[in-house]
Amino acid sequence: MSILKATNLNYSVGSSQLIKNVSFEVEEGSIFSIIGPNGAGKSTLLSLLTGDAKAEGIVEIAHQDINDWESKELALKRAVLPQSVSLNFSFKVAEVVLMGRSPYVNGLAEGPHDYEISREALKIVDLEAYWDRDYTSLSGGEKQRVQFARVLVQLCKDSFEESLAGKILFLDEAVANLDPTHQHQVFIILKRLQTQGLTVINVLHDLHLTAQYSDHVLVMKNAQMLTCDTMQKVMTPERLEEIYEIPFRVIDDPETDWPLLITG
């Protein structure tokens, strides 16, 4: 069953067309990755799917046109983790995470449960001790993990074990700044949330992460969709050479069955 459907998306800024005639569907509960060379239109495509930019064509989330969603209703269904966040004001780490609770807060202040789940989220991303720290004093990678905690508490209303069926998390190269330990930590958490029904749509550069964690892969090149298929069908030497224009070798890892990619 598809949870997101894009039909004939086109998007231009000035005279340059950044997205040309892209159509695809995302299956509910899958991890869906968008890959492609620099400047191919990956992040632009994602911004059309999150509603940050308005496309020509139709984006449907849960069978309803994205333009017909109330902002507040949509916030209960999907969260977005951008590549980086610039914040010039000295919020505490806790306050940044708590902002993820916004869709659940009616009135002026967060309640005890909002604090509890935010603290748990920081524990999940290994930053429990940072609760009271000044967010602006953190390193780039730490900030990104705080932002990850923020989207976790937006997706999970009552607990991190609840059903996430019908919910979507968008990530825009969100792990690019993280060390390998925390890159994998993020994806291990995403894999777990996937078993609870979460759909993940992410823009990725790292082909190994793509191969390891994606169910489906959409390839963008020159503002167009080259293909959209299962991970195994995209991760072939022929496809990868076509995408990146350098030679690739693909070896199946005998232990995990994941394709291992070797360039050159």
Partner 1 sequence: MSTEVKPVSKSHGLNYGIYLGFFSLLLALSILASLTIGAFAMSPLSVLAILVSPLASLLSIDLSAYYTTVEETVFWNIRFPRVVLGILVGLSLAVAGAAMQGLFRNPLADPGLIGVSQGAAFAAIAVIVLSGNFLGIFTLPVSAFVGGVTTTLLVYKLSTRNGKTSIPTMLLAGIAIGTIAGGGIGILTYMADDGQLRTLTFWTMGSLASATWEAIFSIIPLVLIAVIALPMHARSLNAFLIGENISGHLGFDPDKTKIQVIMLSALLVGAAVSAAGIIGFVGLVVPHLVRLLAGPDHRIVLPGSMILGSAVILFADLIARIIVIPAELPIGIIMSITGGPFFLWLLMNRMGRNTF
Nearer to partner 1, 124 or 176 (CB): 124
Binding-site size for partner 1 (CB under 8 A) equals 42
What is the DSSP code string of 8-70? EEEEEETTEEEEEEEEEEEETT-EEEEE-STTSSHHHHHHHHHTSSPPEEEEEETTEEGGGS-
Closest approach of partner 1 to the CB of residue 10, in Å: 19
Nearer to partner 1, 161 or 179 (CB): 161
- 135 to 194, contacts with partner 1 by CB under 8 A? 136, 154
Task: Give the helix, strand, coil percentages of the chain, each rounded to 5.
Answer: 40, 30, 35
Measured distance CA(44)–CA(209) in Å, rounded: 21
Burial of 205 (0-12, 13-18, 19+ CB in 10 A): middle
Nearer to partner 1, 203 or 243 (CB): 203
Nearer to partner 1, 98 or 190 (CB): 98
Residue 12 as a binder of partner 1 (CB under 8 A): the answer is no
Reading the block at residue 203, the tokens are: 């823009």
Residue 102 as a binder of partner 1 (CB under 8 A): the answer is yes
Q: Which of 131, 166, 206, 226 binds partner 1 (CB under 8 A)?
A: 131
Closest approach of partner 1 to the CB of residue 222, in Å: 23
Is the distance from CB of 40 to CB of 221 less than 8 angstroms?
Answer: yes
Please tell me what DSSP assigns to residue 135. Answer: G
Q: Which of 58, 62, 76, 176 binds partner 1 (CB under 8 A)?
A: 76
Instruction: Spell out a b/e string for 207-223, using b for 16 or more CB atoms within 10 Å of the CB, else e.
Output: bebbbbbbbbbbbbbeb
Residue 103 as a binder of partner 1 (CB under 8 A): the answer is yes
Reading the block at residue 44, the tokens are: 């632009």
Nearer to partner 1, 112 or 254 (CB): 112
Residue 86 as a binder of partner 1 (CB under 8 A): the answer is yes
- 50 to 69, contacts with partner 1 by CB under 8 A? 50-52
Name the residues that contact partner 1, by CB under 8 A. 50-52, 71-76, 78-80, 82, 85-92, 94-96, 98-100, 102-103, 105, 108-109, 112, 115-116, 119-120, 123, 131-132, 136, 154
